[in-house]
């Protein structure tokens, strides 16, 4: 009786041979990604609110009812770069 072929061997899924005869190694685990964002907060005068919003700022009226709220709002600018946030030109 002829000897059995060695190419018909069965392996578990993780030990399956590839075309070159090497076993497939353990796959590396994925490292969690770190996402860094920068958030800038500033007082925004009421008369400049629309200009700040047009530059990408989110302006909230969270100071309403305080003496600070008589003059300004809180503006938040979120960016993925550590750069100075855009502000309206001053005369």
Mean pLDDT score of the chain: 81
Reply yes or no on whether the pLDDT at 71 is more than 90.
Answer: yes
Nearest to 7 by CA among 91, 84, 16, 79: 16
Tens-digit pLDDT profile for residues 22-36: 666 677 788 888 888
- Look up the pTM and report it: 0.59
**Mean per-residue pLDDT, 69-83:** 93
In this predicted model, which residue has the larger pLDDT, 17 or 42?
42
Strands 38-45 and 72-79: antiparallel
Which parts of 1-91 are beta strand (E)? 38-45, 58-60, 72-79
In this predicted model, which residue has the larger pLDDT, 25 or 44?
44
């Amino acid at each position: 009786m002829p000897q059995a072929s060695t190419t018909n061997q069965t392996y578990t899924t993780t030990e399956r041979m590839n075309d070159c005869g090497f076993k497939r190694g353990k796959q590396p685990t994925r490292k969690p990604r770190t996402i860094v964002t920068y958030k800038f907060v500033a007082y925004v005068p009421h008369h400049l609110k629309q200009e700040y919003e047009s530059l990408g700022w989110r302006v909230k009226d969270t100071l309403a009812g305080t003496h600070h709220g008589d003059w300004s709002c809180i503006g938040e600018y979120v960016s993925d770069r550590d750069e100075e946030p855009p502000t309206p030109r001053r005369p």
